[in-house]
Every structure is written in structure tokens, then in C-alpha cells.
Structure 1
């Protein structure tokens, strides 16, 4: 009886030990299954906006994102140079020409159909390889103390006329202005664009970015400048220090000066984590991501029909923007025309 009791005790102890091992193994398996990859985001958008949107995505999905920031054309060329060895998973831009450049070289994977269906056809190319998630309107920022409303140009093209000499500022080295030029090229053709750029070379003062151009208008250094809308709205939403003497002129009437640029998002074909990368792009373009954008202080336009833009903005539907195929905007041709005009 004593031996039988010992044997029973040993069997019981062994069973408990085995059960403990099984529990440990199950826990390890569960932890392993719960681990999710960290995505690498090649970001050419404003970093503060993307951090807010990415943080919301991580909170929702549990997928972390490493943000590597740069400029539109620089990051596009980096992706093409890296090819299949790229460590990137998702690429987002401020403007669409950089997306078109990479897409044209086969650098993107096709987006999931559910993602594409979230985005109006105006804001995505026919290839289905990338989609817009934010928009920005071209405007003329002007100082009403220097330029009366009655003297505002009817068209962006008017700024090449002799009467605008030393009266307008531009930021030719930036992707924003180059995207605007790409819209002029798409709408007016090469000859008209080249002539317009030649006139701007004679008339315009060059600044390092939209913010610098707006500050120059505010300071009375120059009467007007071509910028994107949100620089003014963001400053006005804060202290208005750099915009208190500035108003905005919306060209409307389908003029090139009413061009609405699109910020794009795409999954790199080289992505090691395609499912998670697709999830990020779906989030950015979907209702939840668009709500984060609209409620942020970025002052860019949300493009989802389900999510109105920040109420401080002039409604997107009232901008009377020209109909431009965003996949036709040609960055390399634009920079070559600008070099020929002496603007780069």
C-alpha cells in the first residue's frame, strides 16, 4: 500500500509538471502569435500630421510604425534606387507627382479593392496602385494694404504679365510649387507653361518654402505669393503672427490657380509586411483616419465623402477646381521646364 501510494504521488507530480510545461508552451505560442511587425513608413508629408494619424492607426491595430521623413522627389528616387531591397513598406507624399514617378516604374503593389472603394475616383489613379488621403488648394496670399481686392488677378496665368514684376513670391524649389506647375502643364500644355515660367522668372521673388513666402507678404516685403491654403489657416488658428496682414484669394472657375493637389499613400512592392502595409493605407483613406485628419490642426482637406473637412476651411466643393488627372502630373518634365526658365 505504501509503494502504491508513492507511485500514485509520483504520477500526480509528473502530470502537474507536464501540465505546467504545456501551459508555458501555450503562453509562448500565444505571445508569438500576438507579436506584430513594425512597419517602415517613408514619409514626405508633414511629420506632425503623419504622427497623429499613425498613432491612431497603432492604437487601433496594434501595429507600430517607424517614420522616416524626407521630401517628395528625394524619397521617390530613394525608393526606385533601393528597388526590391527597400526596407520601406508604405510611402506617403505631400503631392502626387512623386507617386506617379514611382508607380510608373512599377514600385507599388496594387491596393486592396476595399481601400480603393473608399476613395473617390478623382483622388486615385486608374492603376489602383495608390490613393489620395488628403488635399490642398492653391491660393494667392496677398497683403490688402499693398494690393486691393479689385486688382487681384483673375487667373494664375496673369502673374507672368509685366505688371506683376516684383509683386509676387513663389517657392520654386519646393515640391508644392512644382506640383502647381505640373497642373499648369496638364491644363495649358508645354508651350504656354514655358512662357508662363519665363514670365515668373522676370516677375517673381523666390522664397524657401510656402511659409517663408507668406511671411514675406505679411511683413509687406511683397504684395502677394502663390502658396497652399493650409499655411494661412494653420497660422490663423494659432496666434496669427505670420498671417495677420494676409488674406487669401481663391481663383476658382476651374483656373489652374484653383488646382487642388493630392497627398498620396501606397504600399511598396518590396514590402516585407504587405498585409499590415495594406491595413495602414486602408486606415489613412478610411473614415477613421479621415476623421483624425479633419480634427487635427493640419488644416488640410479630408477627401472622404463621409468626413467633412475642418469647418474653418472653405468647403472643398466650393473651390471650383479644374479637372486634372492626378496620374498625368509629370514631375521630371516640370523640373526640366523650370530649369530651362532659370527657376531651378
Structure 2
């Protein structure tokens, strides 16, 4: 073989190698995270290290994520929605904002934690609770509320904090819980009375717990696992009670955004996030939800739903009625503000 042909062969081989390398390059991934910042950071770091896929995240409350995906539907910026109550995912599915994906690792998740059409799947579970500051209540001479009805005691006026259901998945879970517990008319009659007791409404569902922990208010309505996190961080006066009449819960979900970039990488993330190892990352940074993977070891502090008096919470119904119930809450409870 003469030198001319040898040179051409070398060029062909180099081009083949470069093409092969290029085909193996991994894309990037952007996630909208509806869970705690420290949890999101831990997950992103572990996923990047294990897969080599460069990943970024934006942390928002569930309602904020839904609004962002709506606004971006013609040109999505993110590929995966990770964390936050499944109710909001149900609404996103109905609006055509999510894409179906059946992960091979979905076999490790019980059917009750999955969308039957594979638009979302649960990664954790947590129940609502009444979270109070023991010292604050003692200082003002009040006992700790232990039921929904207790919150209407005139002595608690101005001492309660909760989030706004327009932005917070936690707050919408509260609203949907009361409707499913008592029926819509009784629930809204209760919420109108509760309005007079509430000190403030926050954007995020976990913020009320920090406010109560710091002694700025007496009782928060929030997810119990968030309160456990604050207790572990040093707010030792926090007390957790599950309402005696029954409580609701969230299935913290995950789904793929329709039309989002880098679909292959998004699927890889979902597969990975359903594994035992990925689900157990949260407790390493102080997150205490019950985990959905049957093989995963939930935190010792997590409480299984089976140990509580929970309402028969229908995620599908809650998601389908989310816009209507929030609009009614704004009109009748907030006076249209």
C-alpha cells in the first residue's frame, strides 16, 4: 500500500473514531424540583456522578412548577418534574403538559403510587399534620390543638400559618383533604371560619414550619416530614399531631415534561430515581418521607400511612378538581383577592 492510500486510510479511521465518540456523548438535563433544596442538590450530584449526564435544577413549589410548564409549553426548558404532590401532576396530565413513560424500574413501585397511564409515578409519601410550638403556646396559656375543629377555637385567632393553595401543593392537599373528609360545602364553611384564625399564607408549604419553630406563630398546617426536618435542625419546641378526624397525604411524584429536551437523558433520570439507592439519598440530608420503592429503607422517623387515620384520598379526583376548588377558595375564602 503506497503512502497516499495509507494516509487516506488513517483519515478514514480517525473520522470513524471521532464519529463513534460523538455518538456516545451524553446530553444535558434540566429538572424542575418540587422538594427541598438540599434533597435536590444531593440527587443531582449523585446522578451526575453515576451517569456522566450534566444536570441542573430549579427549585419551586408545585403550583409554581405547573405555571412554569404551562408558560413554556411551546418551547419547554426542562425535561423532568421531580417532587411535589401528585394532584398537580394529574392536572398537568389533563392539560397535555406531561409525556408518558413506563420505566423498567416501575416494577418496584406499588400500583397505588402510579398513574395508570404512566404519566407520573410516586417516589415518596407524606401525611399532613398540625405542627405546634409547645413553648409559644405555653407562654400564651393555650393547649396544643389536636383536631381540625380545635383550630377554630377563638383563642387561636391569629396564631395559625399555612401556605396558599395557588402556589403550594401542600396547601392544595389541605384543601382537597377537607373536601374529601367532610364534603365540599362543609369544608368551605370550615375554611371560611379558619380564614379568621390564620396569621399569614405563605408561598411554600414548608415555610410555616420554620415560622412556628422560630416562635413567630403557634401552629402550622403542613406535611409532618417537613416538621421532622425542622425539629432535627434544632427547633426542639415543635410538636406534631395528626388531626383526630383524619388526615390527608401526598404522593410525591415524578414525570417527564412533554416536548422537553433530551428525552433519552430524562428517561435515564427517571429510571435511576426509582431505584432503592436513589430513593434513600434524601434521608442522608435530613428528609424524612416514606419511600415508595419496596426495597428501599425509609427513614426511622418516617410514618407509614397504615399507622395513621387517613381519609380515602383520591389523587385523581383532587387533580381533576384542582383549578375549580382553588378558584372557589380565592372567591369565597379570600374574597376574590
TM-score, scaled relative to structure 2: 0.84
Equivalent residues of 1:160, 1:198 under 8 A apart: no
Cα shift at 1:15: 5.3
Tell me the equivalent position of 2:282: 293
User: Are 1:228 and 2:223 counterparts?
Assistant: yes
Q: Contact 1:45/1:93 (CA < 8 Å) preserved in 2?
A: yes
Structure 1 residue ranges (4+ consecutive) displaced by more than 6 angstroms after TM superposition: none
Structure 1 match to 2:181 = 187
Q: Distance between the aligned counterparts of 1:213 and 1:87, measured in 2?
A: 30
User: Which among 310, 315, 322 is matched to residue 331 of structure 1?
Assistant: 322
For the pair 1:250 / 2:242, whether they are aligned, the reply is yes
Alignment partner of 2:108: what SS? coil
Give the Cα–Cα distance (whole angstroms) in 2 for the partners of residues 109 and 237 of structure 1.
37
Q: Aligned to 1:94, what secondary structure does the other structure show?
A: strand
1:89 and 1:336 mapped to 2: Cα distance? 29
In 1, distance between residues paired with 2:56 and 2:264?
A: 16
What is the alpha-carbon distance in structure 2 between the residues aligned to residue 232 and residue 291 of structure 1? 19
1:191-270 to 2 correspondence within 5 Å? Answer: 191-208=185-202, 209=204, 212-238=207-233, 240=234, 243-251=235-243, 255-256=246-247, 259-270=248-259
After superposition, where does 1:30-41 map in structure 2 within 5 Å?
30-41=20-31
Instruction: Note closer, same or farther for the CA distance 1:121–1:152 as it changes in structure 2 (3 Å cut).
Output: farther
- Superposition pairs of residues 8-23 of structure 1, within 5 angstroms: 11=1, 13-14=3-4, 16-23=6-13
1:118 aligns with 2:105: no
What is the distance in 1 between the residues matched to 2:215 and 2:71?
44
Aligned partner of residue 129 in structure 2, secondary structure: strand
Q: Is the 8 A contact 1:57 1:280 kept in 2?
A: yes
Partner of 1:65: 55
Q: Secondary structure at the match of 2:56?
A: strand
Unaligned ranges ≥5, structure 1:
1-10
- Whether the aligned pair in 1 keeps the contact of 2:231 and 2:238 (CA below 8 Å) is no
Contact 1:39 1:273 in 2 (8 A): yes
TM-score by length of 1: 0.83
Matched, 1:50 2:40: yes
CA RMSD, Structure 1 to Structure 2 (Å): 2.8
> Among 297, 312, 324, which residue is 1:308 paired with?
297
* Alpha-carbon separation, structure 2, partners of 1:145 and 1:18: 82
Contact 1:172 1:206 in 2 (8 A): no
Instruction: Name which one, 1 or 2, has greater alpha-carbon Rg.
Output: 1
Q: Which runs of 5+ in 2 are unaligned?
A: none
Q: Deviations over 1:195-250 (max 9, x none)?
A: 11111112222143555533443455543221222333223333x0xx22221113
